[in-house]
Amino acid sequence: MSQRRLTGVDFEALRRHIDVPDSAVRLLSKTEKEIDFDLNLVRDDGSLIEADCHLVYANTVRGPAKGGIRFAPGVTLEETRDLAERMVYKTALAGVPFGGGKAAIAMDPHSLTRFEKVAVMKEFVHMIDLELRSGSYIPAPDLGTTPHDMAVIYGQTHVPESVTGKPPSLGGLPGRREATGWGVCHATCRAAEQFLHATPQELTVAVQGFGNVGSYTCRFLAEQGARLVAVSDVSGGVAAEGGLDIAALLDHVSGGAPLADFAADAISNDELLALDADVLIPAAIENVLRGDNAARVAARLVVEAANGPTTTEADAVLADRGIVVVPDILANSGGVVASYVEWRKAKSGSLTEARETYAVIQSRIDIAFDQMIARAGQHRVPLRTACQLIAVEELVRSMRDRVWI
């Protein structure tokens, strides 16, 4: 089993505070099931489309494996395991009846035409058809996949609840696209009130990443009155001390222009991470805050909108410096909460409006946030550990109920 080990959670550290049976540690330390396959298609000119693909079920004690499909060059089995594991704790913390899973297609989606991407998605469904039709794995968008890709999956399975993140015209959830950003915005406002004693209007914020999560986080925070002083994407960043015009920036990128060409001061991604703003929100990729740059972070609060943006080394440096980190499993849980609402809607055939989606996300994040603050105070631990304590207790309870332990 050693090749299937999960490594994200330090159970020995958690056991200083709560009772976690050996049997539960064993089950939570390895993946349940992994499927690896090659995806191959031939173009008309004879060239091959080839990708390594992975599907990981990390733990499904609380429900089917839920997690997005990452479509990006170089995505590995290790990375897929790590992301699946995060889903186990995220769903348990959010209190939704899902387990943790993740899928990956290791290829640059931008190297494909629209037609080719549809063909790849259909082939992907074909290769894991049983997992999807049985409802064992329920995908959603992640880096490099979109609601259109989810629509292609639905078109193959014909089962509305087999996939979430579909376009609203096909049974998708109004508000799903904005859901993660909405949740990040709400978690940021709660954390700013709690730790900085500041209202949104008093905040300066820097956001790395202007894709689905980053752009909606910026939009909602700007609507709350926060000053977005720097924003970046893979092309570079822009900054304005008085605050960027987020509506104009959204307009600019929606026309396909690189974000870095927006009329404002240029800033690199490295400079953005060290910018003197109240709040730093990494909303792009993993491991951007590391041992080598965490000492330069000037923000007082880091809200992890991306999955895994802070390495263990950086976590320790930030904690030493008194910088509060709101962990990804709480901060970006709006996406999976919305997925739960969409799944429930698909199963029941009911209709849901965007404001209901927002309300459910806000309520789940409020519950988890309050529990996190109470636990962090009770055990004198960082917020990440507090969230893990809550999630692990929930998972142990479910394992006992299912007679897994």
Radius of gyration for the alpha carbons in the chain, expressed in angstroms and rounded: 20
- 181 Cβ contact partners less than 8 Å away, ≥ 6 residues apart: 212, 213, 214, 215, 216, 217, 218, 219, 220, 305, 334
CB of residue 183 vs ligand NAD: minimum separation in angstroms?
Answer: 9
Identify the helix (H) or strand (E) that includes residue 58: strand 48-59
How many positions of this chain bind ligand NAD (CB under 6 A)?
24
Binding to ligand NAD by residue 260, rule CB under 6 A? no
- Cα–Cα distance, 372 to 368 (Å, whole number): 6
Helical residues (DSSP H) of 171-280, grouped into ranges: 176-191, 212-223, 246-254, 269-273
Residue of the chain from 214, 277, 364, 390 that contacts ligand NAD (CB under 6 A): 214
Binding to ligand NAD by residue 212, rule CB under 6 A? yes
- Cα–Cα distance, 289 to 304 (Å, whole number): 10
Nearer residue to ligand NAD within complex by CB, 8 or 209: 209
Query: Is 102 one of the annotated active-site residues of the chain?
Result: yes
Nearer residue to ligand NAD within complex by CB, 142 or 149: 142
Judging by DSSP bridges, how do beta strands 69-71 and 99-106 pair with one another? parallel
Catalytic residue selected from 66, 90, 102, 117: 102
**Site map 290..329 versus ligand NAD, x via CB under 6 A:** ---------------xxx----------------------
Which one of the spans 19-27, 44-52, 101-109, 140-148 is the region binding ligand NAD (CB under 6 A)?
A: 140-148
Which one of the spans 9-17, 197-205, 232-240, 310-318 is the region binding ligand NAD (CB under 6 A)?
A: 232-240
- Cα–Cα distance, 256 to 259 (Å, whole number): 9
Judging by DSSP bridges, how do beta strands 99-106 and 137-138 pair with one another? unpaired
**Site map 143..182 versus ligand NAD, x via CB under 6 A:** xx-----------------------------------x--
Q: Which residues bind ligand NAD (CB under 6 A)?
A: 141-144, 180, 208-214, 232-234, 269, 283-285, 305-307, 332, 335
Instruction: State the catalytic residues.
Output: 102
